[in-house]
Amino acid sequence: MSDAVSRAQSYALENEARFVEDLRKFLQIPSIATQGTGMQECATWLVQHLNDIGIKAWLEPTAGYPVVCGEVPGATDRWVVVYGHYDVQPPEPLEEWIHPPFAAVLEGDRIYARGAVDDKGNLFCAVKAVESYLAAGERPPVGVKFFIEGEEEIGSPNLASFADAHRDWLKADGLILQDGLVAHDGRTELNLGMKGLLYLELRARTHDRDLHSGKAPIVENAGWRLVHALASLQGPDGRVRVPGFYDGVLPPSEDDLELLRTYGPSEEVVKAEAGIDRFPERLKGRDPLVALYFEPVMTICGVVSGYAGPGQKTVVPSTATAKIDIRLVPGQDPGRLIQAIRAHLDREGFTDVELVPLGAGQPASRTNPRTPVARAMHAAIRTEFGKDPIVKPSVESSGPGCVFSDVLGLPWALTRFGPAGSTLHAPNEFFAISHYRRGISTIVRFLDEFARALEGQ
């Protein structure tokens, strides 16, 4: 361990109580992008805090909420970008919280607050790691640029355009982000890819109002119309029936599969996380982990039609709506898939079923595990956690990875410091001081490992 790492980690431990109070202040500012609550106040506070601890920071406007930017030069001329977000999920239902969601109550090892894990606590691990270097009289081993948006929880609608407009400032040797929870066995994850996302709505309308169900023999039923359209999209085997859906899909590489075999989660862990005791019959004879991380999937998220209240109401529904998400893998283009699905519905006789994309969609992204940023994060986690991370070459969820890979051209690595069992996106979300401590220490070490990994390149 270098002297700079040792001094920075010692400073963080000695100042832990203040670091906790700084995080509590951050958490006490409601910053709910969905509701437009506290966003400017939170962004302004964060800029001031970064400047107070020696990180030059400023606000950059977008068409929505501002981006918090910050930078501090390192001991070398290499750079890493730290991405995060200061917006949080709405706290409702409020009555289920054991403490007010923005009180940031400290109870034992836990700080209860909306955004404690997603993403303020995770993000502050990197902020305080850089502060620890500076306050200990050291420059971080590489320069650090903070890129903190306020719209992640509403789909990052302005992130790509902001990144494109600021690509010169965002030039770096890699990017890291921290979000989410460690596993129940105490290991954290190292994620090197994200599935893409395309969200669609299918709408059927057969009449201008619901009809008496006695008319059913002679009229169209919007509910059945939509059900048949949905059934045309995917079969019982889970395969999507839209021609061209799988065109261009990139299979996992041998490196990806080796990482999954060596460091990936077991099937039992994956079942436990999903709350199931067996995989669906349609996966018989297939590798469920490959399906989870490397194959595209189409999901019905909700269907609404007719009457679903208590008792009876005999109607023929005049409208029906279904929401569908498609998790994409590398090689799939959201725009092309919209066209393919529309063409499929038309061929199948569903020209009357409306297809409405809810957003442009996000392509998938993946980072080569041999890049310096991936190797450095792996090494830092192994040292600070005392065990290898769970490595996922791609995760089943989606996010802004495509912006990092496709717009900025940066290799990236995601890790998680939140405590297992923290109910992010639900009442009683909490961060743990012990996890905060380890997260700061891990990022301190990562910055040193990254500088070493970049030597000679």
For every one of its 457 residues, what pLDDT tens digit does the chain have, with 9 covering 90 and above?
689 999 999 999 999 999 999 999 999 999 999 999 999 999 999 999 999 999 999 999 999 999 999 999 999 999 999 999 999 999 999 999 999 999 999 999 999 999 999 999 999 999 999 999 999 999 999 999 999 999 999 889 999 999 999 999 999 999 999 999 998 889 999 999 999 999 999 999 999 999 999 999 999 999 999 999 999 999 999 999 999 999 999 888 888 898 889 998 889 988 988 889 999 999 999 999 999 999 999 999 999 999 999 999 999 999 999 999 999 999 999 999 999 999 999 999 999 999 999 987 889 999 999 999 999 999 999 999 999 999 998 888 888 999 999 999 999 999 999 999 999 899 999 999 999 999 999 999 999 999 999 997 7
DSSP bridge partners of 316: 211
In this structure, what are the phi and psi dihedrals at residue 127, rounded to the nearest 5 degrees?
Answer: -60, -50
The side-by-side arrangement of strands in the sheet containing 105-107 is 105-107, 110-112, 430-432
Beta pairing, strands 67-72 & 56-60: antiparallel
Whether the CB-CB separation of 182 and 439 falls below 8 Å is answered with no
- Residue 146 gets the label, from left (phi > 0), alpha (psi -120 to 50) or beta, of beta
Token pair belonging to 103: 């009180």
- Secondary structure of 266-315 as H, E, C letters: CHHHHHHHHCCCCCCHHHCCCCHHHHHHHCCEEEEEEEEECCCCCCCCCE
Token pair belonging to 369: 């595990």
pTM (predicted TM-score): 0.89
Scanning the structure block, which residue is given the tokens 């393919």? Answer: 340
- For 29, 38, 92, 119, 357, the CA distances from 97, given in Å and listed in that order, are 17, 20, 9, 19, 35
Q: 419: which DSSP letter?
A: P
Whether the CB-CB separation of 6 and 123 falls below 8 Å is answered with no
Whether the CB-CB separation of 142 and 5 falls below 8 Å is answered with no
Question: CA-CA distance, 39 to 151, in Å (whole number)?
Answer: 10
CA 35 from centroid of its chain's CA atoms:
20
- Domains of the chain from N-terminus onward: 3-192+367-454 (3.40.630.10), 196-249+296-357 (3.30.70.360)
Taking alpha carbons only, the member of 150, 145, 82 closest to residue 115 is 150
DSSP bridge partners of 357: 200
Who's near 388: CB < 8 A, 6+ residues apart? 187, 263, 378, 381, 382
Residue 167: enclosing H or E segment and its boundaries? none
Token pair belonging to 85: 């977000």
